[in-house]
Amino acid sequence: MDEGLSRLPERQLLEHRDFIGLDYPSLYMCKPKRGVKRDESKETYKLPHRLIEKKRRDRINECIAQLKDLLPEHLKLTTLGHLEKAVVLELTLKHLKALTALTEQQHQKIIALQNGKRA
């Protein structure tokens, strides 16, 4: 089973089609919902919970990696060595708050200039 996953490039998100044809132990099969008859002629398998959870974690990690790439270099240099996920999120919040404050200041200046022209 891991052979099929190891062929995927790094940082690629897994999709349902990536798991079609893989053999899963019956222990990991999702049970059908109550009241829904399972069609025995079709072998429809749902993704095991652990693979769904891995896909979710991979998406989170990819988003954090993208945030890290968007951070200005001067913020990255404030930390020594590897940026942990929590540090990336903290630096992103700090940068976003600074940009928001700067935007608000610029907006106030524009309003002041517009009011000055009208007077």
CATH assignment of the domain containing 91:
4.10.280.10
Average pLDDT, the chain: 75
Number of structural domains (the chain) is 1
Does residue 18 sit within a domain?
Answer: no
78 band by pLDDT with thresholds 50, 70 and 90: confident
In a domain, 112, yes or no: yes
Residue 31 lies in a domain: no
Residue 48: inside a domain, yes or no?
yes
pLDDT tens by residue, 41-75 = 444 556 788 899 999 999 999 999 999 999 998 88
- Supply the range of the domain harboring residue 50: 42-117
pTM of this structure? 0.54
Q: Is 75 domain-assigned?
A: yes
CA nearest neighbour of 4 among 24, 18, 25: 18
